[in-house]
Structure 1
Amino acid sequence: MIVKKLREKHRWSQEQLADACGLNVRTIQRVESGNKASLETLKCLAAVFEVDISKLTEEITVIDKESAQWKELPWWFRANMFGVYTRRHVLMVELFLLALGFVFLFFNEDKFGCATFFLGAYITGWIVRYGDRKEVW
């Protein structure tokens, strides 16, 4: 859920958000960790953040390339994400490179091409894991 992002954008602690909503701090923690929220909880949060309830339930999968967090990432990571906005696209590139590696392994005499595709898949996988660790998605 997007609740944590909105809370951090407003620079509120979980306690401050809970007080503003009239909810328990534990409820805020559960919602931020991805557990289902009741309709009443969503209504309270939507009112405090002044957003639609649908905004609170959408998944965050798009990279915000205007954020300060994005600009603090190393240049090599940002360069690899040029034109890519979702984790799914990067995973598709990784699987495509892996498939090409197997095609070259079984149907082509050029083993250098095979190794190149497998290396590309490995590096792409490493980049995905780095993005996961840095919570880019």
Structure 2
Amino acid sequence: MNKSLVSELRKKRFLTQENLADEAHVTVRTIQRIEAGEEVSKETLKCVSNALGVTVNELFESVESKEKEVEIMELSQEQELQINYRKNEMFAIRLFSIGVIFFILTFFAKFISTVPSINYREIYGIIWVSILVLSIAFLKYFLSVFISKYLDKKYPLTVGIKSFKSVKKNKDFT
């Protein structure tokens, strides 16, 4: 029998078995099986780990079957790899987007500095600040809605993981 940490992780997040089952898109009976240490599919483990915001190997304290241990470790390593790729890709997209906004606003600022009338400069300055704020808001919306959906499809093992910063390294089962 496998020693599962799902119950502890679930309780730390103040979730009932029903809540976790809803978030992981599995049945309550499946959650009960995992908590009891019974065998479940890799897909189910992926869904539960994503709902709890941990890697697959963090769901277990120990695994008796060597084959299952290898399977869990491989899935966990693939999940961590996808998390790192996703973080890097999201960083690159953010950096590029901020660069584009900065580039456009720099040209607009240069235009403002050439306007002869001070009154028009003040008006254009207010418009510049408004464009800056709206650009940041639009970028945040665009990244959270469209880019996140794209990255969910590209990196399916990362779907549902709330924070990509707190992923721990693989641990050996004892």
TM-score by length of 2: 0.33
TM-score by length of 1: 0.41
Structure number having the greater helix percentage: 2
Higher relative contact order (CA 8 A, sep 6+): 2
The structure number with the bigger radius of gyration is 2
